[in-house]
Structure 1
C-alpha cells in the first residue's frame, strides 16, 4: 500500500501496527459471520460475508508485502529485522485463519447440533479475547519503545502477554471438549459435515494459537532488551 515505506522513518513498529489494523478488520468480519451462523444467518449471506473477509485478507496481504519490500536492511532499528518479520508473519497467519473460517462456512450449510452449540459461543469468545489483547499489545509498541522496552509499561505488557496465554489455554480446553462431543455425535452428521466441523474448530482455535505466538515474541523482545 502507498505510504508504508515512509512510516519506517517514524518507527519500524508503525508499519506492523498498520498491518494489524488490517488483520483486525479480517477478525471482526469473521466474528460477524460466526455470530450470524449461531443465530441462523442464511448460507447465502454467510457466503457473501465470507467473500468480503477474503477481500479484507487480500488487503492485509498487500500491506504485508509492501512492508517486506520496504523494510530497511543494514539500518539500526529498535527491533531487529528478523523479529519484525516473524511478528508480521504471525499477524498474517491470524488474517489467514480468519479467511479460512469464512471459506469453510461457505462450502456447505452445516448444522449446529446441541452438543456443540452449548460451548460454541464461549469457544469463539476465548479466541477473540486472545486476539483483542494481543492487538492491544501491538498498539502499545510505540509507547513501549519510547520507554526503552522497560519500566512500568513493560510490566503492564508482560501481564497482557500472560492474559493472552490464559485465553489461549481456556480456548484449548473448550476445543478439546467440543472435539470429544463432535466424535461422540458423529453419527448425527454426514461425513462432509463432520469434516467441516473438525476443521472449523481447528481454524477458530488458530486465532488464539497465533495470538499467543505473537504475544510470546513480544515477551522475548522484552527479555533481551
Structure 2
C-alpha cells in the first residue's frame, strides 16, 4: 500500500504500508467466517472446504508479512512512535488471523453444523465479530495519514471516533455471545455432550475474534496518546 508520507521518499517504501497490508490480510481471513458457517449449515462441504482453504491461505500470508515486518522495519527511522510499538501492533493484528483460522479449523475438523435453533444467533455473532475486524482495519488504514501529520490534528479525532465505534461493536458481541450461550444452555440436554463442548469453544472463539479487533484499536489509541 503506497504512502504519501515524505519519509517514504527518504527510506523507500514506508514502513507503515506493510503494517496496513498485514491488517488487510488478517481481515481477509476473518471475513470468510459467516460464509463458512452458512456453507456448513447448508451441508455444502465442498464449498466449506474452499472457504477453509482461503482462510488458511490468508492466515499463512499474514504470518509471512508479520515476519517480514519484524525483519525489515527500520531501526533508525525517525518516527513519532517507537519501533517497538509498531511491532506490538503487528503482533496484535496477527491474532485476528490466527483466531479466524482456529475457529475454521474447529468447524471443519469436526464437520460442525450448528443446531438450527441457535444458527441465527451464531451467524449474528459471526457477522458482528467480523464487523469489529473491518472497523479495526479501517482505523489502521489511516495510520499513514497519522504518521504524516505527526499523530496530531483532525486525523486523530477521526481515528478516535472510529475506535469508539469499534468499542461499541465489541460490546455488542459481548451481549450476543451471552444470549447465544443462554440459548445453547437450554439445548444441552438434547445434544451430544462432546458436541456441546465444541459449540461453546467455537462460539467463544468468535468472541475472542472481536476482542482481538478491539485490542488493535486499543493499541492504536496508545499510539495516539504518545
> Scaled by the length of structure 1, what TM-score is found?
0.88
- For 2:22 and 2:154, the matched residues in 1 are separated by 26
Name the structure 2 match of 1:27.
Answer: 30
Name the structure 2 match of 1:204.
Answer: 206
Which segments of 5 or more consecutive residues in structure 2 lack a partner in the other structure? 1-7
The size of the alignment, in residue pairs, is 218
- For 1:133 and 1:185, the matched residues in 2 are separated by 33
With 15-24 and 170-179 compared, the bigger mean Cα shift is at: 15-24
Q: Which runs of 4+ in 1 moved over 6 A?
A: none
Name the structure 2 match of 1:137.
Answer: 139
- For 1:15 and 1:79, the matched residues in 2 are separated by 16
CA deviation after TM superposition for structure 1 residue 21, in Å:
2.1
- For 1:35 and 1:43, the matched residues in 2 are separated by 10
CA deviation after TM superposition for structure 1 residue 114, in Å:
4.1
What are the residue-to-residue correspondences of 1:45-64 with 2, within 5 Å?
A: 45-64=47-66
Provide the alpha-carbon RMSD of the alignment: 2.0
Residue-by-residue CA offset, 1:145-194 (whole Å, 9 max, x unaligned): 21221211111110100111110011011101111221221122212311
Which segments of 5 or more consecutive residues in structure 1 lack a partner in the other structure? 1-5
> Scaled by the length of structure 2, what TM-score is found?
0.88
What are the residue-to-residue correspondences of 1:138-153 with 2, within 5 Å?
A: 138-153=140-155
Is the CA contact (8 Å cut-off) linking 1:30 and 1:99 kept in structure 2? no
